[in-house]
Amino acid sequence: MNKRKILAQQRRILLAQSAVQRELLANQVHALMRPLSWVDKGLTLIQHVKKPAMLAGFIFSLFTLKSQGLPPLISKSFMVWQTARRILPTLREMVARFRV
């Protein structure tokens, strides 16, 4: 067989394989779009929140409330609030130094 024909045959095989791989990749990306859209929405929300510590405390309290009930939630929330009050000024100061 002619070398040119062999190369043409190999090219057709490679093109068919790449078409199959592209289709598989498209299906996998499509399956990931929905979960990634939730992540994207969450990141957008975090960027627009003026007090991210309050949002973190709220999310933490939701998870705690669901698993343990209200009394432990109140004590843990109070502890988180006190800790945040102590730490946030220091964090703001550190961020301000890095921005300059």
pLDDT, tens digit, for every residue of 50-66?
Answer: 777 777 777 777 776 66
Task: Please tell me the distance from the alpha carbon of residue 62 to that of residue 60, in angstroms, as a whole number.
Answer: 5
Residues 29 and 41 in one domain: yes
Size (the chain), residues: 100
Residues 26 and 65 in one domain: no
Say if residue 24's pLDDT is above 90: yes
Q: Match 């994207």 to its residue by tokens.
A: 40
pLDDT for 19: 94
DSSP secondary structure letter of residue 70 = H
Is the whole model's pTM more than 0.75, yes or no?
no
Confidence of residue 4 (pLDDT cuts 50, 70, 90): very high
Helix (H) or strand (E) segment spanning residue 90:
helix 70-99
Residues 32 and 2 in one domain: yes
Helix axes 70-99, 52-68, angle to 10 degrees: 160
Mean pLDDT estimate for the chain? 81
Task: Please tell me the distance from the alpha carbon of residue 2 to that of residue 6, in angstroms, as a whole number.
Answer: 6
Number of domains the chain is built from: 2
